Structure 1
Amino acid sequence: MAPISTTKTGQPLDRQTLDSMLRRRLFYTPSFELYGGVSGLYDYGPPGCALQANIVDMWRKHFVLEEDMLEVDCTMLTPHEVLKTSGHVEKFADWMCKDPKTGEIFRADHLVEEVLEARLKGDKEARGLKVDREDDADAKKKKKKVKDIKALRLDDAVVKEYEEVLAKIDNYGGDELGSLIQKYNIKNPTTGGDLLSPVAFNLMFQTSIGPSGGMAGYLRPETAQGQFLTFQKLLEFNQQSMPFASASIGKSFRNEISPRAGLMRVREFLMAEIEHFVDPEGGKAHPRFDEVKDIELTLLNREVQLEGKTDVEKMSIGKAVSTGLVDNETLGYFLARIQLFLKKLGVDQSKVRFRQHMANEMAHYAADCWDAELLTSYGWVECVGCADRSAYDLTVHANRTGAPLVVRETRSEPLRIEEWQVDLNKKKFGPKFKKDGKAVEAAVEALTQEQRESLAAGLKKDGKIAIDVPGVGNGKVELEKDILEIVKRTRVENIREYTPNVIEPSFGIGRILYSLIEHVYWSRPGDEARGVLSFPPPVAPTKVLLVPLSTNPEFSKLVRRISHKLRGLGISNRIDDTSASIGKRYARNDELGTPLGVTADFQSLKDGSFTLRDRDTMKQVRASEEEIIAAIKSLSEGTETWEDVAKRLPEFLEQQVD
């Protein structure tokens, strides 16, 4: 059963109240609402746009700038042939089941998960219920309610079985999900109707390119393929230097089967993806791994999940790599860097875990994969995937197009290779085999070194050999020593050619954004209606609220001057000069997550000093205009905390009102 998500103050999170606040303050709103809306499509309002932009900006600084990555912006329209080659046309699908009577469609794994979790919740309530012994007029009604709830009680063995199924839910294929639906008598939750067996549904949006419609295409389901297809140009731009990473931020599209989880499951979303190209011969080592090896991660490995459990283990990434739990240093390096990024954003570190993919859920290209999951009111939600894609993508695209998607490096020392080579006497070979010549020559070239060595001995002994050539004669072809020669020679290689492997961290920006909102949301003690979003200043949509205490024009001049100076420093701020009380003005900006507030009062007119308020503690300090602006700058950039500022600037306790 999914753990309960709580607010910063430890209270159960009321998602309905939070969602109402977010829509009221226009963080986001359903798209096309005037026309009834479309499920899985949302528009961001001003604070949502600013929050998303700040998350992306921090992502760029944390990864692209810090790791010296090569950023590209590739088209969202992708030809059919590209995604057929990559495997998406055949394999990019989820399992859906349909109610034949109503036509309603469900995603099979989510339906099984929701039904079993609901039954476990009912069991938990039933086990905690005390029998009502009152003899008042409502006793019969109460006893009936008790009886109804007690009917939800499950056997201990069933509870354990449900928990094991939920732990492995991501590992089930279509047939297994169908068996679970039958076994546990899962119906349409709305009507109770029977469901058809799960079938695969491809999640890509199909379209056509050009006015004739002759070129089939798709809206891209990920940003990765564009990066792989520009690999050779990026390698050249990087002066043939390896390893290197490309990065891309852009919209992707997935035609979700039944999106019912708000911003967590949408059909159009912003992704930030990295493709780190690495030499496989070096064991995928990372030169900066020592910097992160002591960072502890909360890990849920695949073996634990396959046992039907969700027990996690805290372990340094250095140990996880050295024991083989995490496949290699580069994969481990990025897992640690992902954790540091989420921490920098303000994500609650007690609500982060890294879950390893099980075999059946592993993407068709992946050698190892871990998801950074965040705990929300929707349960544990995948927000970042980090996969070792091996050499899959570059290999399949190279095979399909003939393009050399490889690295060519001059060897420090020439490599001497002893090998058996085949020499054909073309003057005699052509006339003998005529139209079958190409097939025979291909069969000869395909001989392994072991086969060539054995055939060389046979040729020397008997003067002829026989090889398999499907489709020619009876499938066997005889070759005499005057037609071919098999000789052992030493070949010298000065150039090494190889296909890089790829480590791919993939970030769902929208999911991170919503999870962060839940993690920083809380309400003032004794005033549950007064919501607060405790965004760290660097990520907050608006950094500063400027509040003039009076409508006097002199106050307006002061706050507008500060506003102008802050904007010149790139610090977002807004002025609230309405007639509402200071408390109300601050309260409505607490809902927007504004971390800092500057008040211009009557003392400001006298000596040019201002107060600076901290959103979370509601404490204030007072200082000169220059000192206040300097403090705001350091807080907004994350170089100082409120505790740092409060130590060096004098505390202020009461506003002067006249």
Structure 2
Amino acid sequence: MANLPVNKTAHPFDKSRFEALLNRRFFYAPAFEIYGGVAGLYDYGPPGSSLQSNIIAEWRKHFIVEEHMLEVDTTIMTPAPVFETSGHVARFADWMVKDLKTGDVLRADHLVKNVLEARLAGDKEARGIAAQPVKEDDKKKKKKDKAKPTAVKLSDEQVVEYETILAQLDNYSGPELGELCKKYNIRNPDTDNEVSDPVQFNLMFASSIGPTGQHPGFLRPETAQGHFLNFSRLLEFNNGRVPFASAQIGRSFRNEISPRAGLLRVREFTMAEIEHYVDPEDKKHERFAEVRDVELDLLDRHTQVAGSTQVTRMKIGDAVDKGIVANETLGYFLARIHQFLIKIGINPSRLRFRQHMGNEMAHYATDCWDAELHNSYGWTECVGCADRAAYDLTVHMAKTGHPLVVRQALKEPIITEKLVAEFNKKSFGKTFGKDSAAIQTIIGGMDEAQLTRLQGELAQGSTTITSSDGREFKLTPDLLTIEKKTFKQSIREFTPNVIEPSFGLGRILYVLLEHSFWSREQDVERGVLSLPAVVAPTKVLIVPLSAKTEFEPLVREVSSKLRKAGIFSRVDDSNTSIGKRYARNDELGTPYGLTLDFASVQKRTMTLRERDTTGQLIGEIDEVIGIVTGLVDGTIDWAEACRRLPAYDGVQAVE
């Protein structure tokens, strides 16, 4: 439920009414619907498109502008060798099972989760404990997303066992999920049929490039590789200095096994990703002190492995100091992610950061935390924040030979002394022939202690080394000398590590709508979306009380002044009642309404209505527009507006 003003009462969250509102007002809808639709593909309507654009605009301000990031826009179609090198071809997969009779495909971890949660819900019902309702779309007769609970009481041991499994579900491998299905008799909830053993399914959409298909490719499942392949150019653009960050907003594609949860699991979606490049020897962040006291709800890996989902509220500074979060830069971005989500309207009491466990950690990550948002489907990952170490840059450099490294001039040169082997190439080659290179490789791989021993033995006349296949080679001082030399290092060369925050904008948008939705007790059928002005599709509704011609100049004037102030507004001059006009725009999340009545024509006054409280103020037109501008850009709040303008008592309108 939305964060409501303390003086407001609301009807309990009703998912069917919520979904009806989103459908009726065309926030989004199944794509290709008149052709029957395709699961996991959605089109956004006018309010959904505007809401997403506003979220993106605020994301740009919060991250790209405030953090001085370098924005890029890289291609969606990607040659196969890129993802073969990055590991996606081999590892970017989920575990799926098949209904042994119908052939229906289900994602294994979701199946286990849904069935065990349904059994726990049935246990609560049997014990007379209020349980979360099972989500079903009876109106559209869709397949159930969760098994329907039946009132069957479990033993206390079973309850603990199920809760423990669910707490660490993401840590199970495919074979382990299969064992859980067998042990707990987990079947397809739609048919009650047994399911197969889990098999891996790669989530990337394969394609080809060129008229003959000679170049295999994939639609990207994330935007990250486009950042990494352009690292050298980005580093040069940033004058060769780290740390710095690149950022990108764009479409990505994942061939989800069985997408059923609306915008939470789709096959085409918009991502916003950041790749922050940092010195592996110094992962401090210069602005960490600014966020050190930000408190987060943390669910660390040890708590989950122990079978619990109990969060710990902790300052991010303390979490980094205690080693719960790996480093300052990772911690800094966790705090910034939290601030962004709260700013756009996410309910802070329904936000937590969950650390990945060992088995679920991505192949490239050394530490990873998900910002999870609670909604009617449960806890959903909406932002991932990973320390990818130097994995990506290293593998692409090894594959292509292109140096994806930082060359850093040292303030003070490093002077070192070490033993060096020097070969008499003419004599060495003549003596050992085709074995020369192998012998030099053996000696080149020796450490200081081994070279010291070799030097001492040569001083005695000769030494012998042994190859990996057991052959022995005799070395003498005329073939090889080992001497100590002084080296001066003025340049340090290193491959940077990468901290990556990755945002699923569709998921954030959906959960934001859920968190913002509520219904007034006196008007349950009409919902309200308490979207903050910063992301609301329309900021201001202009409502002329009459369609008479004398109102037209005022409507044009107010609209023009709002446009010049950068405020998106709409005019509703329909012949329905003013109450209905406001109510249907409350459904769209419009935070403010301006009413032009007959007194406006005579006195140039205008009333200002606030969506959540329905409170109204009155003032001179330019004064009210100034107040609205401050409300929309966040420089004042409604309480301050109430101090600056008198309350509207409902009697100023005269005809």
TM-score normalised by structure 1 residue count:
0.94
TM-aligned CA deviation for residue 247 of structure 1: 0.5
Give the corresponding residue for 1:123.
123
Give the corresponding residue for 2:211.
211
1-structure distance, mates of 2:199, 2:114: 19
| 3-state SS, counterpart of residue 486 of structure 2 | strand
Of 584, 588, 594, 2:590 maps to 594
Cα distance 1:32–1:167, how it changes in 2: closer, same or farther (>3 A)?
A: same
TM-aligned CA deviation for residue 558 of structure 1: 1.2
Moved more, 64-73 or 485-494: 485-494
| 3-state SS, counterpart of residue 160 of structure 1 | helix
What amino acid maps onto 2:207 in structure 1? T
Give the corresponding residue for 1:141.
none
What amino acid maps onto 1:216 in structure 2? P
TM-aligned CA deviation for residue 13 of structure 1: 2.6
1-structure distance, mates of 2:630, 2:433: 81
- Check if 1:58 corresponds to 2:58: yes
Give the corresponding residue for 1:98.
98
Moved more, 270-279 or 429-438: 429-438
TM-aligned CA deviation for residue 12 of structure 1: 4.4
1-structure distance, mates of 2:610, 2:473: 87
Q: Structure 2 matches for 1:560-579, cutoff 5 A? A: 560-579=556-575
| 3-state SS, counterpart of residue 236 of structure 1 | helix
1-structure distance, mates of 2:89, 2:471: 36
TM-aligned CA deviation for residue 79 of structure 1: 1.1
1-structure distance, mates of 2:166, 2:3: 25
Give the corresponding residue for 1:287.
286
Cα distance 1:173–1:430, how it changes in 2: closer, same or farther (>3 A)?
A: same
- Provide Cα deviations, 1:581-626, integer angstroms capped at 9, x if missing partner: 0000000000000001001101001011111100011111111111
**Is contact 2:303-2:310 (8 Å) kept?**
yes
**Is contact 1:21-1:591 (8 Å) kept?**
yes
Moved more, 334-343 or 646-655: 646-655
**Is contact 1:7-1:13 (8 Å) kept?**
no
Give the corresponding residue for 1:450.
449
Cα distance 1:255–1:657, how it changes in 2: closer, same or farther (>3 A)?
A: farther
Cα distance 1:450–1:214, how it changes in 2: closer, same or farther (>3 A)?
A: farther
What amino acid maps onto 2:277 in structure 1? F
Give the corresponding residue for 1:360.
359
Q: Structure 2 matches for 1:50-449, cutoff 5 A? A: 50-128=50-128, 152-282=152-282, 284-449=283-448
**Is contact 2:10-2:520 (8 Å) kept?**
no
TM-aligned CA deviation for residue 365 of structure 1: 0.8
Cα distance 1:477–1:24, how it changes in 2: closer, same or farther (>3 A)?
A: farther
| 3-state SS, counterpart of residue 536 of structure 1 | coil
- Provide Cα deviations, 1:101-134, integer angstroms capped at 9, x if missing partner: 211000000000000000000000000089xxxx
1-structure distance, mates of 2:394, 2:109: 32
TM-aligned CA deviation for residue 431 of structure 1: 2.4
| 3-state SS, counterpart of residue 359 of structure 2 | helix
TM-aligned CA deviation for residue 458 of structure 1: 2.7
TM-aligned CA deviation for residue 564 of structure 1: 1.9
Cα distance 1:638–1:150, how it changes in 2: closer, same or farther (>3 A)?
A: closer
| 3-state SS, counterpart of residue 460 of structure 2 | helix
2-structure distance, mates of 1:493, 1:129: 70
**Is contact 2:608-2:618 (8 Å) kept?**
yes
TM-aligned CA deviation for residue 479 of structure 1: 2.9
1-structure distance, mates of 2:112, 2:455: 62
Give the corresponding residue for 2:134.
none
2-structure distance, mates of 1:637, 1:475: 78
TM-aligned CA deviation for residue 462 of structure 1: 4.6
**Is contact 1:531-1:591 (8 Å) kept?**
yes
2-structure distance, mates of 1:364, 1:149: 37
Give the corresponding residue for 2:459.
460
1-structure distance, mates of 2:188, 2:482: 69
Q: Structure 2 matches for 1:505-544, cutoff 5 A? A: 505-544=501-540
| 3-state SS, counterpart of residue 255 of structure 1 | coil
**Is contact 2:122-2:151 (8 Å) kept?**
no
**Is contact 2:10-2:521 (8 Å) kept?**
no
What amino acid maps onto 1:479 in structure 2? L
What amino acid maps onto 1:128 in structure 2? G
| 3-state SS, counterpart of residue 359 of structure 1 | coil
1-structure distance, mates of 2:121, 2:65: 46
Give the corresponding residue for 1:134.
none
2-structure distance, mates of 1:19, 1:151: 27
2-structure distance, mates of 1:515, 1:115: 23
TM-aligned CA deviation for residue 14 of structure 1: 2.2
Unaligned runs of 5+ in 1: 131-147
- Provide Cα deviations, 1:511-531, integer angstroms capped at 9, x if missing partner: 111111111110012321110
1-structure distance, mates of 2:263, 2:654: 44
Give the corresponding residue for 2:641.
645
**Is contact 1:440-1:469 (8 Å) kept?**
no
**Is contact 1:96-1:201 (8 Å) kept?**
yes
Give the corresponding residue for 1:497.
493
What amino acid maps onto 1:404 in structure 2? P
Q: Percent identity?
A: 58
What amino acid maps onto 2:465 in structure 1? A
TM-aligned CA deviation for residue 566 of structure 1: 1.3
2-structure distance, mates of 1:119, 1:440: 67
| 3-state SS, counterpart of residue 421 of structure 1 | strand
2-structure distance, mates of 1:70, 1:150: 54
Cα distance 1:11–1:651, how it changes in 2: closer, same or farther (>3 A)?
A: closer
TM-score normalised by structure 2 residue count:
0.94
| 3-state SS, counterpart of residue 361 of structure 1 | coil
Moved more, 419-428 or 289-298: 419-428
- Check if 1:610 corresponds to 2:609: no
Give the corresponding residue for 1:136.
none
**Is contact 1:273-1:506 (8 Å) kept?**
yes
2-structure distance, mates of 1:200, 1:596: 51
2-structure distance, mates of 1:87, 1:204: 12
**Is contact 1:459-1:465 (8 Å) kept?**
no
TM-aligned CA deviation for residue 10 of structure 1: 7.0
**Is contact 1:164-1:309 (8 Å) kept?**
yes
RMSD between aligned alpha carbons? 1.7
2-structure distance, mates of 1:89, 1:448: 38
**Is contact 1:623-1:650 (8 Å) kept?**
yes
